Amino acid sequence: MLYRNYVDGRWVESSSGETFKVTNPANGEELGEVAKSTPEDVDAAVKVAERTFDWWRKYPAARRGEILFRAGEILVRRKDELARLMSMEMGKVLNESRGDVQEGIDMTYYMAGEGRRAFGLTTPSELPDKLAMAVREPVGVVAAITPWNFPLAIPTWKLMPALVLGNTVVFKPSAETPILGTMLVHVLEEAGLPPGVLNLVNGPGSTVGEALIKHPGVALISFTGSNETGRHVAAEAAQTGKRISLELGGKNAIIVLDDANLALAVDGIVWSAFGTTGQRCTAASRIIVQRGVKDRLVKRLVERTSQLRLGDPLEPTTDVGPVINRTQLEKIDRAVQTAKQEGARVLVGGHIAREGEVAKGSFYEPTILDDVAPGMRVAQEEIFGPVTAIIAVDNLEEAIRINNQVAYGLSTSIYTQDVNKAFVAVRDIRTGLVYVNAGTIGAEVHLPFGGMRQTSNGHREAGIAALDVYSEWKTIFVDYSGRLQRAQIDVAEGGAAA
């Protein structure tokens, strides 16, 4: 099947006629062909979005929200269909794919409500007979560039707030998961989104993404992906003064103290380290454990991890699906081999899966590394695979210091039954997300999502914080005094109006 671009309300092929193939990472089977866009296709999409913007920003916000509500209803009806497609295209197990779609539903409903809310400000003026207020204005054409690991949820994080606030969008999903991106555009089209408001261009980041971030008609780039690419996006955007919202990598840790509920901690670690095959920016790739409980924790973790089953993500018996492709598979293996060379010890896993049915796909064994020092590459660099590293510490203060001494600052959790230690950790941990007695994954759409340090550029996705990304403030003064009043200086002594 051929999946096309979507420009000005029409499904169109690439101007070059070229396509690229999408395959199932679990078995290599072809899922379809996708239009491979050119810079000319990007230019056409941006120009349509520019032309549509002036009309769409004036479209009543409540009605924009109603379209999103209808899209949410369609997503609910198609949840299982989309989840199965996601498991085939991206590789996450079916229950997690359902969760991905549900997060997209939740975000769509949440942002639909902003069509009747998106509150501004009113405040007393410093002068008499004068109204002072501020309202949100859309920024213009948004370039939404999304990754493959959450192929439906993350696009809704970007598209829904952008659209409900009156922006127009050019959407480029990952070239690894363009089919799910296409399905989301179909949903919005069916919900009644007018032509030209949302446009879809598919293809690799090196050409299509590059053309999009450099296009002078784009006002805002919203990008989720690697730190390396994020830095490039920031540098290019600076050349033309574009706004940018960056959500980049993570090197997340779970801290386990001596007094932790070990059964609960093991549950949280296994889910956070190996859920989505470790392919989450919030995945727990470091376990910082107090020495008094380390041996008992490690014994339980090895037992649980050894029981995890690799396989077809559509099968209910599968615990861990494939990684996205062979390139990523080899990158994960190189990271593990480097860790071993630096002195880390493999307790379980540590190999590409090469036997049985899984040999057809891109599978890596869930891996635990011990004897990891905080300065090792495996303790500092994002792996984006089913690998976690054990780091031993003496106390809470050391654990927090090691947690904070990485370039990233997205998510951290701590397991302790001491409320005082929990609150010290909440205060001193320098990450955008902090969990107490829960894993590092599990964000909720009504709360800000994002990280500190090199994980982001200070913006947040989700919740009302996302509105600040996709809008700008317009301050309005209405003077009904009937005379010239000069702010700051037009007040007589004693406070009376001049």
User: pLDDT, tens digit, for every residue of 211-222?
Assistant: 999 999 999 999
Q: What percent of the chain is modeled with pLDDT above 70?
A: 98
pLDDT at 393: 98
Return the C-alpha torsion angle 446, 460, 223, 406, nearest 10: -120
pLDDT tens-digit map of 123-153:
999 999 999 999 999 999 999 999 999 999 9
Total domain count, the chain: 2
Place of tokens 């951290």: 412
Q: What percent of the chain is modeled with pLDDT above 90?
A: 97
The arithmetic mean of pLDDT across residues 231-243, rounded, is 96
The arithmetic mean of pLDDT across residues 427-442, rounded, is 97
pLDDT at 330: 98
Out of 103, 247, 365, 461, pick the active-site residue.
Answer: 247
Strands 130-138 and 198-200, by their bridges, are unpaired
Terminal CA-to-CA distance of the chain, rounded, Å? Answer: 74
pLDDT at 372: 98
Q: Which domain holds residue 398?
A: 252-436
CA distances for 108 relative to 246, 344, 380, angstroms: 21, 44, 35
**188 and 306 share one domain:** no
Q: Which amino acid is at 483?
A: R
Length of the chain: 498
Out of 176, 189, 281, 461, pick the active-site residue.
Answer: 281
- Are residues 62 and 116 in contact, defined by beta-carbon separation less than 8 angstroms? yes
What is the average pLDDT score of the chain? Answer: 96
Name the band, by pLDDT with cuts 50, 70 and 90, for residue 498.
very low
**229 and 297 share one domain:** no
The DSSP result for 146-205, as a single string, is: --SSSTTHHHHHHHHHHHHTT-EEEEE--TTSHHHHHHHHHHHHHTTPPTTSEEE--S-I
Name the band, by pLDDT with cuts 50, 70 and 90, for residue 488.
confident
pLDDT at 492: 57
**171 and 283 share one domain:** no
pLDDT at 475: 98
Name the band, by pLDDT with cuts 50, 70 and 90, for residue 494.
very low
**Three-class DSSP category at 293:** helix
The arithmetic mean of pLDDT across residues 240-252, rounded, is 96
**244 and 257 share one domain:** no
**134 and 184 share one domain:** yes
Helix, strand, coil shares of the chain as percentages rounded to 5? 40, 25, 35
Tokens of 307: 């029981």
Which residue pairs, CB below 8 angstroms and at least 24 apart, start in 38-43? 38/14, 38/203, 38/207, 38/208, 39/207, 39/208, 39/211, 40/15, 41/5, 41/7, 41/14, 41/15, 41/201, 41/208, 42/170, 42/201, 42/208, 42/211, 42/212, 42/215, 43/211, 43/215
pLDDT at 358: 96
**244 and 384 share one domain:** no
**230 and 131 share one domain:** yes
Residue 488 lies in a domain: no
**237 and 343 share one domain:** no
- Give the number of other Cβ atoms within 10 Å of residue 416's Cβ: 22
pLDDT at 487: 81
Active site residue 247: yes
Residue 54 has pLDDT above 70, yes or no: yes
Residue 492 lies in a domain: no
Burial class, 246, CB count within 10 angstroms (exposed 0-12 / middle 13-18 / buried 19+): buried
**202 and 323 share one domain:** no
- Are residues 128 and 156 in contact, defined by beta-carbon separation less than 8 angstroms? no
The arithmetic mean of pLDDT across residues 58-68, rounded, is 98
pLDDT tens-digit map of 405-420:
999 999 999 999 999 9
The interaxial angle of helices 153-164 and 178-190, nearest 10 deg, is 40
pLDDT at 491: 60
Residue 482 lies in a domain: no
The DSSP result for 404-431, as a single string, is: HSSSEESEEEEE-S-HHHHHHHHHH--S
**270 and 238 share one domain:** no
pLDDT tens-digit map of 71-98:
999 999 999 999 999 999 999 999 999 9
Q: Which of 34, 33, 115 is nearest to 71 (CA)?
A: 115
Place of tokens 């990450």: 431
Torsion sign across C-alpha atoms 148, 146, 152, 193? negative
The arithmetic mean of pLDDT across residues 494-498, rounded, is 45
Residue 99 has pLDDT above 90, yes or no: yes
**296 and 155 share one domain:** no
**311 and 191 share one domain:** no
Q: Find the CATH number of the domain harbouring 174.
A: 3.40.605.10
Residue 497 has pLDDT above 90, yes or no: no
Name the band, by pLDDT with cuts 50, 70 and 90, for residue 496.
very low
The DSSP result for 61-113, as a single string, is: HHHHHHHHHHHHHHHHHTHHHHHHHHHHHT---HHHHHHHHHHHHHHHHHHHH
pLDDT tens-digit map of 269-305:
999 999 999 999 999 999 999 999 999 999 999 999 9
